[in-house]
Structure 1
Amino acid sequence: MASYDLSAFDRRFEAISLVGAIEQQSPFTLNVGFWLRDPNQFVQWPQPTASHPRQDFLWEQTCFEIFIGVHNEDFYREINLSPSQAWQAYQFEEYRYPEDMPPKAAYDIELNQLKRTHYGMNVSIDLTEFMLLHKLKWSDIYIGLSAVLKTTQGDHFYAMQHSSPNADFHNKRDWLHQF
């Protein structure tokens, strides 16, 4: 398991710390955990939903995100995970394209488990169809972790790193995990 300190785009905001951990499990399962430290309880949590529905626009509230890139390819996937237990996966052909809003859903990724915990969130994602369709091995894939945190102090954007002048989770240079 590899872990990463996710940093706030606004470097002056130090009230919340966030760590993401990535683990490959079984031939096609990806497990990710997000550990959030919020001693002042600034984070605004969305209301829980039942049965893990696919839902768009999750980033408009507190939302954790996983980006899956493929070495030497333009296409990628974005997975949005809400503490409400709703989720969605999107497919892109290249950087933010197509520009549809909401983006086109990706049905080659499935949810095994999504659970809000007292420290953040755990998720298990099934990449079987995505990896078999594109003939991928784990070494072909790289991962970016990010989060939109709605707080009483405003919106804050966390990622493995921020190399753009604005918070931009779609910037592949910031997706640091490789298998």
Structure 2
Amino acid sequence: MIWELALQSHPATPCPAIHTLNAKVERLADGSLHLQYTLRGDITQVRIPAPQPPVFTDGLWQHTCFEAFVAVKGETAYREFNFSPSSQWAAYAFSDYRQPVESPLLLAPSPPCGGRAGDGGECSEQDSQSTYQLDASIPSSALPAAAPLQLALTAVIELTDGSKSYWALKHPSERPDFHHRDGFMHEIWS
């Protein structure tokens, strides 16, 4: 099944350069998740990180970055996955709200962002002056085993002037907070 979802800019961080940010989520037969983020607007104003080796990199959220937070409904633990247009990635585990687990790399996709469009990697991107698209996959081994899963799909969009906007399916607080569990609103039952 494929779900098509619209992300909204947080009211405190408007971004007139971006018209829409949509995400498609597909749960594949092997249990993995395929994510496709499509950004539309004046892409020439978006600061897209330069290509880098596809390795774990902390702090990706400080620049343009697409993210997925995954939890089991009713549980406090959750996982965070960051996908940079650079092909760098990050994966973290939390036992509760912003309480990191000691070994986040045990949950890492291998790697979730493996390359560019057409080269056989697991993450690809396409861009133009009006559309930017990033595809990423999270293998089933990096996801919680129980169901239903709750997702928070998010993004940080940095403009060339250095300003940032914060996008999510839902913004439950006055300030952008992607870790807030009320933002984990999309459910996947199988």
Q: TM-score, normalised by structure 1?
A: 0.86
Q: Give 1:122 deviation, angstroms.
A: 0.1
User: Which residue is 1:85 aligned to?
Assistant: 87
1 CA distance for matches of 2:67 and 2:15?
20
User: Over aligned residue pairs, what C-alpha RMSD do you find?
Assistant: 2.0
User: What is the percent sequence identity of the aligned residues?
Assistant: 29
- Report the Cα distance in structure 1 between the residues aligned to 2:6 and 2:96, rounded to whole angstroms: 27
In structure 2, the residue matched to 1:124 is 137
Cα displacement (A) at 1:130: 4.0
Cα deviation digits, residues 23-76 of structure 1 (max 9, x gap): 1002321000000012252110111013x1111110111111000011111100
Question: Which residue number in structure 2 is paired with residue 14 of structure 1?
Answer: 16
Pair 1:45-2:48 in alignment = yes
Residue correspondence of structure 1 range 23-172 to structure 2 within 5 A:
23-39=26-42, 41-50=44-53, 52-98=54-100, 105-110=104-109, 111-112=111-112, 113-118=122-127, 119-128=132-141, 130-131=143-144, 135-136=145-146, 139-153=147-161, 154-172=163-181
Contact 1:10 1:156 in 2 (8 A): no
Distance 1:29 1:104 in 2: 21
> SS state of the match for residue 107, structure 1?
helix
Unaligned runs of 5+ in 1: none
Aligned residues of 1:108 and 1:127 also touching (Cα < 8 A):
no
Deviates more, 1:105-114 or 1:60-69: 105-114
CA distance in 2, matches of 1:42, 1:104: 37
